[in-house]
Amino acid sequence: MHNPLAQFEIKPLLSLNLLGHDVSFTNSALFMTIAVVFASGLMLFATRKQELVPTRIQMMAESLFGMIDDMLMQNVGDGGKQFIPLIFSLFMFVLFCNILGMIPYSFTATSHITVTFVLAMIVFLTVTIVGFVKHGLHFFSLFLPHGTPSWLAPLLIVIELVAYLARPVSLSLRLAANMVAGHVLLKVLAGFMVVMAFYLKIVPGPFIVVLVGFEIFIAILQAYIFTILSCVYINDAVNLH
């Protein structure tokens, strides 16, 4: 029986050592690189000739960019325009990592908390730095909503501060946990399919196809959720409460 968690094992492909530190090129790094190359290549190829009547691939690229633009406009307002490169890059990276992970014998980089936590920290540090640059010490008002009674203020400040510091943890855990859960479920059910085909002479192919399709939908949805939550957090830095 195959271990359903074995698919998440990080394996070195090229052993490297730098000043006593292991910096080997792993399967995780490989698929993150592929995701960056594919996402960049798609956008460059789609926009190489910007036609007045767009081709299908140009329309797809413009639709993705327009979706992020609308997302920032709805959640942040005009002040969100400057964050389009960051949010669009995060969305495309997470999306391609998730989709690549659906290919058999591939690797899902976003199933590891170390990867998703770095992405979440990029958002968290951006929000914090922008908040202090834009509002100065008034940024601390984020932890005390307007109209809070004075007797409740100390408790509410602590709660808001803990919730703010927990953002990168919750953002990264949500993405990694969903990707792990989905792939483990597919692996387990695929094992059952082999057993049923061998012993019961039943091949539940349509069920597996539907399940794979649902998991692809989840992969796309998780990229969207990660992105829209990032927009919500940026709104706090730009507009406060």
Tell me the per-residue pLDDT of 81-110, one tens digit each, with 9 for 90 and over: 899 999 999 999 999 999 999 988 889 999
pLDDT, tens digit (0-9, with 9 covering 90-100), for 159-180: 989 999 999 999 999 999 999 9
Q: Cα(39)–Cα(215) distance, rounded to whole angstroms?
A: 20
Where residue 140 falls (left for φ over 0; alpha for ψ -120 to 50; beta otherwise) is: alpha
The Cβ of residue 40 has, within 10 Å, a number of other Cβ atoms equal to 14
Nearest to 101 by CA among 191, 209, 186, 24: 186
Side-chain-side CA neighbours of residue 24 (13 Å) = 10
Q: How does residue 143 score in pLDDT terms, banded at 50, 70 and 90?
A: confident
DSSP character at residue 49: S
Bridge partners, residue 18, by sequence:
21
Write down the residue that tokens 């004075």 correspond to: 150
| Mean pLDDT for all residues in the chain | 87
Instruction: Report the pLDDT averaged over residues 4-24.
Output: 83
Q: How does residue 58 score in pLDDT terms, banded at 50, 70 and 90?
A: confident
Q: Cα(160)–Cα(165) distance, rounded to whole angstroms?
A: 9
